């Protein structure tokens, strides 16, 4: 009787490996997407905070009263799905991952409104 030479994997083994990889991918995609949204929120908050700081620094160096409006914030590159809301005491940056608030100094004049990111 001849001994058969078994090399390679069976179809069942390959299907099990493919199924395990599919489960891992199905778990990883939503986690990655959530982290991407959080990073976009952090970047948008940093851009808005930078625009706010630039307006305040410019106004203080010129001796003017700092004033911020939606037009000035619109220049801060915002990601699509992000909204920025200006109120008299804070700037709120929000997307589907959450929201961050930036407190406004009491001597800053604020034009209220909401803008949305388009890029």
Structural domain boundaries in the chain: 11-116
pLDDT above 90: residue 107: no
**How far apart, in Å, are the Cα atoms of 15 and each of 19, 20, 23, 29?**
6, 9, 12, 21
| pLDDT confidence of residue 113 | 86
Q: What is the mean pLDDT of residues 40-44?
A: 93
- Measured in whole angstroms, the distance separating CA 56 from the mean position of its chain's CA atoms is 24
Q: How far apart are CA 115 and CA 5, in angstroms?
A: 70
Q: pLDDT confidence of 41, banded at 50, 70, 90?
A: very high
Q: Which two tokens stand for residue 28?
A: 């990883």
For residue 92, count CB atoms less than 10 angstroms from its CB and return exposed for 0-12, middle for 13-18, buried for 19 or more: middle
Q: pLDDT tens across 46-105, in order?
A: 988 988 888 889 888 998 888 888 877 776 778 888 999 998 889 999 999 999 999 988
Comparison of pLDDT for 35 and 118, the residue scoring more:
35
């Amino acid at each position: 009787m001849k001994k058969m030479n078994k090399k390679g994997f069976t179809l069942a083994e390959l299907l099990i490996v493919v199924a395990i990889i599919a489960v891992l991918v199905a778990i990883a995609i939503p986690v990655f997407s959530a982290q991407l949204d959080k990073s976009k929120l952090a970047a948008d908050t940093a851009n808005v905070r930078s625009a706010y700081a630039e307006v305040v620094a410019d106004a203080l160096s010129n001796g003017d009263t700092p004033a911020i409006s939606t037009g000035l914030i619109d220049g801060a590159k915002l990601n699509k799905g992000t909204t920025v809301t200006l109120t008299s005491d804070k700037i709120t940056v929000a997307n589907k991952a959450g929201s961050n608030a930036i407190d406004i100094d009491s001597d800053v004049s604020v034009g209220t409104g909401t803008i949305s990111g388009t890029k």
